[in-house]
């Protein structure tokens, strides 16, 4: 950064503010997620090589192993991308895992009910059921936060419990088992040019969200809401509408992840998604996204998600318990945030500002 | 008026040209303004006029009514008595938006900048310029267009920044103040109200902001500055209004008075010694 000449405004009459020579590279790096994301990417690559070296016959470095990695990463990435929207706006959503679960339950029931009228029809309507369920939870979150003035931490803690409860009641606590297995081959575990379809979708969503933050009015306004809520209000932004839209969008992403989960395993997983929401927040924060709003790193979201997934799969491949992943991710989380606070002058500021 | 609405971001009212008409033309005037909060009378029978090209310094001790008067003039507070007037006739302001529609913007003491956004994003927050092609439908903004306009507005006020694309958090206190003023000037075609523009700044930065206040007025805008920084603001002001206990204790051209006169009026010195100095 060029802070040398930035200390004072000018007295000379003929000073224009630089527009002709924008600092292209630094700006682009900043958009990529500053250096935190890059460091995590480096760690990702080192871990892949490490696990490759430690696994028998290098089995971690095979195409099929990467496909599993891609499938595992797809749902996690979608949730992490979603949470970055809300973190950028200075809000949080703990209900993503529960939203994923409830969406997969409702979507699954719809698919089972429509199975007679053809798998394709059932799948498409099931997809919309998943998206709708997720968006509805998001709408509730948004309304509770904006209209009832409950902070998003509390609001989504509540809806997390509510959605989990509904999912268990609707299924009587038993996972759905009549999902047509053909959905797996057609969608859930389908490969396109050797890459799992869900991974494609997750990457596309990641890219779209990156563009959203980088180039669209909606993205800029979300960041403004997270950076200085009062200023955003005084600039005439419709704060409530933006927040509700963001919560719904994120909810719909959880619904999409629920559909992918459903079609990948051809069943629901009532016991399996409690930590998904927290894992998404962890991945985003590891990559340099601020919990306090205004600062999002999509590169970091990708790197942080991959880190968690690589650790999880890699540890299993080399014969260690996957529970070590939880420990490793926790340690990396603390280290990454600490590094971030030291390096960026804004680290402390972000906290003091509130 | 020409103020763009939320959904149709346009350029500044007159693109790149801050001078809108002859100096001296009144922009807004207050006539016999009174405002009470419960039993507390914050303002009583206050009148003043803001004219193009002029800097009005509003001095007064804490609780003298400076903030309330400013809030009345930018639409945050509706006065109980008296009225506001523009050259077009009497008006009522019910929100900041109303004042902005008249071309009157406010630079708050906290500046209302988003530190994580770039200078240009802050200057266009709520009035983003969209791309002109199909991407407009997706809400894609045109950074180049916004950067050009922000550059023009900044250079017109002789504000020098390394780039309009760096985050506001990377700027010094004086530069942040300058960005807030430039934003206000960009979206104003009549007047700017500034609340304590030098309060948070060191000596050098305060001097620079004072120059900026002067050049804003010289561009044809009416400027009202609330301040405790009497010597500095007195230097750039054309008119001085001193409030005391909610009424106008003094209103005179700055050329006719000294720093001492201002302080005397603020503390009510001549009231104690019988009205003569």
| DSSP state string for chain B | -----TTS----SSTT----S-TT-EEEEEEEEEEEETTEEEEEEEEEEEETT-EEEEEE-TTSSHHHHHHHHTTSS--SEEEEEETTEEE---SHHHHHHTTEEEE-TTTT--TTSBHHHHHTTTSPPBPSSGGGGGTBB-HHHHHHHHHHHHHHTT---S-TTSBGGGS-HHHHHHHHHHHHHHT-SSEEEEESTTTT--HHHHHHHHHHHHHHHHTT-EEEEE-S-HHHHHHH-SEEEEEETTEEEEEEEGGG--HHHHHHHHHTHHHHTTS--
Q: Would you call B128 an interface residue with chain A, using a CB distance cutoff of 8 Å?
A: yes
pLDDT > 90: percent of chain B: 43
Contact B162 A215 (CB under 8 A): no
Give the closest of A22, A223, A236 to B6, CB-based.
A236
Q: Would you call A2 an interface residue with chain B, using a CB distance cutoff of 8 Å?
A: yes
Contact A18 B125 (CB under 8 A): no
**Residue B213 pLDDT more than 70?**
yes
Better-predicted residue by pLDDT, B254 or B271: B254
Mutation choice for B interface testing from A9, A219, A340 by most B CBs within 10 A: A9
CA distance B149 to chain A (A): 10
Give the closest of B113, B150, B164 to A228, CB-based.
B113
Q: Would you call A26 an interface residue with chain B, using a CB distance cutoff of 8 Å?
A: no
- On the 0-12 / 13-18 / 19+ scale of CB atoms within 10 A, A112 is middle
Residues A6 and B178: their CA atoms lie apart, in Å, by 13
Domains of chain A from N-terminus onward: 35-47+59-340 (1.10.3470)
Contact B126 A9 (CB under 8 A): no
Q: In A, which residues are within 8 Å of B171 by CB distance?
A: 6
Contact A16 B96 (CB under 8 A): no
Q: Buried b vs exposed e over B179-214: b needs ≥16 C-beta within 10 Å?
A: bbbbbbbbbbbbbbbbbbbbeebeeebbbbbbbbbb
- On the 0-12 / 13-18 / 19+ scale of CB atoms within 10 A, A321 is exposed
For residue B49, the cross-strand partners are: B29
Contact B159 A232 (CB under 8 A): no
Residue A189 φ/ψ, nearest 5 degrees: -125, 20
Tell which residue, A226, A217, A216, has the closest CA to residue A346: A226
Residues B223 and B230: their CA atoms lie apart, in Å, by 16
Using only C-alpha atoms, chain B has a radius of gyration, in whole angstroms, of: 19
pLDDT > 70: percent of chain B: 89
Q: Helices B203-218 and B173-186 meet at what angle, rounded to 10? A: 10
Q: Would you call B200 an interface residue with chain A, using a CB distance cutoff of 8 Å?
A: no
Residue B191 φ/ψ, nearest 5 degrees: -150, 160
Q: Which residues of chain A have pLDDT under 50?
A: 1-24, 26, 28-29, 31-33, 346-354
H or E segment to which residue A263 belongs: helix A239-265
Contact B160 A15 (CB under 8 A): yes
Q: Does domain B26-271 sit in CATH 3.40.50.300?
A: yes
Both structure tokens of A120: 């394709």
Residues A126 and A104: their CA atoms lie apart, in Å, by 9
pLDDT tens sequence across B133-155? 989 988 999 999 999 999 998 98
CA distance A337 to chain B (A): 18
Give the closest of B115, B127, B130 to A227, CB-based.
B115
Give the closest of A12, A235, A349 to B169, CB-based.
A349
Kindly list the domain boundaries of chain B, sorted by start residue: 26-271
pLDDT tens sequence across A187-200? 888 888 888 999 99
H or E segment to which residue A17 belongs: none
Q: Which pairing describes strands B104-107 and B191-195: parallel, antiparallel, or unpaired?
A: parallel
Contact B162 A17 (CB under 8 A): yes
Tell which residue, B274, B200, B194, has the closest CA to residue B236: B194
Contact A236 B97 (CB under 8 A): yes
Spatial neighbors of A208 by CB under 8 A, at least 6 apart, are: none
* DSSP calls for B161-218: -S-TTSBGGGS-HHHHHHHHHHHHHHT-SSEEEEESTTTT--HHHHHHHHHHHHHHHH
pLDDT in the model for residue A219: 95
Residue with the two structure tokens 């005391």: B244
The answer for A 127-156 residues in CB contact with B (under 8 A) is none
Q: Would you call A354 an interface residue with chain B, using a CB distance cutoff of 8 Å?
A: no
pLDDT in the model for residue B113: 93
Contact B125 A220 (CB under 8 A): yes
Q: Would you call B140 an interface residue with chain A, using a CB distance cutoff of 8 Å?
A: yes
Number of Cβ atoms within 10 Å of the Cβ of A308: 25
pLDDT in the model for residue A15: 34
Using only C-alpha atoms, chain A has a radius of gyration, in whole angstroms, of: 22
Give the closest of B143, B158, B166 to A10, CB-based.
B158
Contact A159, A137 (CB under 8 A): yes
pLDDT in the model for residue A251: 97
Which residue does chain A place closest to B172, by CA atoms?
Answer: A7
Tell which residue, B170, B165, B28, B34, has the closest CA to residue B100: B28
CA distance A208 to chain B (A): 11
Q: In A, which residues are within 8 Å of B162 by CB distance?
A: 2-3, 5-6, 17-18
Number of Cβ atoms within 10 Å of the Cβ of A4: 7
The answer for A 224-263 residues in CB contact with B (under 8 A) is 224, 226-228, 230-232, 234-238
Edge-to-edge, what's the strand order for the sheet holding B222-226? B104-107, B191-195, B222-226, B55-60, B239-244, B247-253
pLDDT in the model for residue A353: 39
> What number is the average pLDDT over the span B115-126?
93
Tell which residue, B240, B224, B234, B269, has the closest CA to residue B104: B224
Q: Would you call B233 an interface residue with chain A, using a CB distance cutoff of 8 Å?
A: no
Residues B68 and B78: their CA atoms lie apart, in Å, by 10
pLDDT in the model for residue A232: 92
Count interface pairs A-B at CB distance under 8 A. 148
Residues A226 and A121: their CA atoms lie apart, in Å, by 40
**Residue B10 pLDDT more than 70?**
no
pLDDT tens sequence across A67-87? 999 999 999 999 999 999 999
Contact A231 B114 (CB under 8 A): yes
Spatial neighbors of A113 by CB under 8 A, at least 6 apart, are: none
Contact A220 B205 (CB under 8 A): no
Both structure tokens of A320: 């260690």
The pLDDT mean for chain B works out to 85
Residue with the two structure tokens 């509904």: A166
- On the 0-12 / 13-18 / 19+ scale of CB atoms within 10 A, A25 is exposed
Segments of chain A assigned E as strands: 191-192, 195-196
Mutation choice for B interface testing from A231, A239, A351 by most B CBs within 10 A: A231
Residues A97 and A161: their CA atoms lie apart, in Å, by 10
Q: In A, which residues are within 8 Å of B140 by CB distance?
A: 211, 215-217
pLDDT in the model for residue A109: 95
Contact B175 A237 (CB under 8 A): no
Q: In A, which residues are within 8 Å of B96 by CB distance?
A: 234
Contact A294 B159 (CB under 8 A): no
pLDDT in the model for residue A134: 97
């Amino acid at each position: 950064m060029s802070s040398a000449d930035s200390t004072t405004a000018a007295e000379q009459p003929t000073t224009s503010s630089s527009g002709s020579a924008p600092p292209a590279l630094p700006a682009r790096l900043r958009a990529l997620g500053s250096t935190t994301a890059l460091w995590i990417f480096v760690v990702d690559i080192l871990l892949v090589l490490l696990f490759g070296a430690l696994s028998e016959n290098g089995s971690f470095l095979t195409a099929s192993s990467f496909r599993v990695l891609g499938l595992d990463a797809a749902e996690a990435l979608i949730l992490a991308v979603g949470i970055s929207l809300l973190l950028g706006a200075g809000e949080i959503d703990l209900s993503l895992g529960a939203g994923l679960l409830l969406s997969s339950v409702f979507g699954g029931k719809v698919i089972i009910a429509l199975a007679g009228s053809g798998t394709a029809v059932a799948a498409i309507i099931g997809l919309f059921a998943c998206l709708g369920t997720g968006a509805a939870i998001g709408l509730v979150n948004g309304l509770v936060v904006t209209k009832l003035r409950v902070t998003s931490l509390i609001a989504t803690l509540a809806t997390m419990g509510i959605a989990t409860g509904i999912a268990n009641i609707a299924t009587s606590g038993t996972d759905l088992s009549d999902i047509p297995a053909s959905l797996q081959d057609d969608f859930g575990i389908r490969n396109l040019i050797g890459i799992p379809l869900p991974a494609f979708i997750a990457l596309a969503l990641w890219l779209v969200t990156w563009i959203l933050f980088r180039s669209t009015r909606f993205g800029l306004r979300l960041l403004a809401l997270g950076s200085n809520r009062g200023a955003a209000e005084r600039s005439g932004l419709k704060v409530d509408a933006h927040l509700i839209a963001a919560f719904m969008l994120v909810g719909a992403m959880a619904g999409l992840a629920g559909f992918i989960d459903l079609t990948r395993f051809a069943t629901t997983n009532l016991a399996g998604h409690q930590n998904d929401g927290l894992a998404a927040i962890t991945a985003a924060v590891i990559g340099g996204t601020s919990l306090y709003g205004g600062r999002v790193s999509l590169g970091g979201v990708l790197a942080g998600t991959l880190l968690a997934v690589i650790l999880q799969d890699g540890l299993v491949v080399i014969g260690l318990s996957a529970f070590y992943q939880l420990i490793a991710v926790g340690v990396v989380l603390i280290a990454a945030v600490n590094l971030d606070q030291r390096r960026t002058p804004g680290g402390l500021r972000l906290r003091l500002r509130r | 008026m020409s103020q763009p609405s939320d959904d149709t971001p346009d350029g500044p009212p007159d693109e790149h040209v801050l001078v809108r008409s002859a100096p001296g033309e009144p922009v807004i005037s207050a006539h016999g303004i009174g405002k009470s909060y419960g039993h507390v009378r914050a303002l009583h029978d206050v009148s003043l006029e803001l004219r193009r090209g002029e800097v009005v310094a509003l001095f007064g001790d804490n609780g003298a009514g400076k903030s309330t008067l400013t809030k009345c003039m930018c639409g945050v507070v509706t006065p109980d008595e008296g009225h506001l007037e523009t050259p077009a006739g009497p008006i009522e302001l019910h929100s900041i938006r109303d004042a902005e529609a008249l071309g009157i913007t406010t630079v708050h003491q906290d500046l209302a900048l988003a530190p994580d956004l770039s200078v240009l994003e802050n200057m266009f927050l709520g009035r983003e310029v969209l791309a002109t092609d199909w991407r407009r439908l997706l809400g894609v903004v045109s950074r180049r267009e916004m950067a050009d306009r922000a550059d023009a507005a900044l250079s017109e006020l002789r504000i020098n920044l390394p780039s309009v694309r760096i985050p506001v958090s990377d700027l010094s206190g004086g530069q942040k103040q300058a960005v807030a003023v430039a934003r206000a000037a960009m979206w104003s075609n009549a007047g700017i109200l500034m609340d304590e523009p030098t309060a948070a700044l060191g000596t050098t930065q305060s001097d620079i902001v004072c120059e900026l206040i002067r050049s804003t007025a010289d561009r044809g805008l009416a400027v009202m500055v609330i301040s405790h920084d009497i010597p500095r603001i007195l230097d750039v002001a054309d008119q001085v209004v001193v409030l005391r206990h909610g009424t106008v204790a003094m209103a005179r051209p700055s050329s006719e008075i000294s720093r001492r006169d201002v302080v005397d009026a603020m503390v009510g010195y001549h009231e104690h010694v019988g009205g003569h100095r």
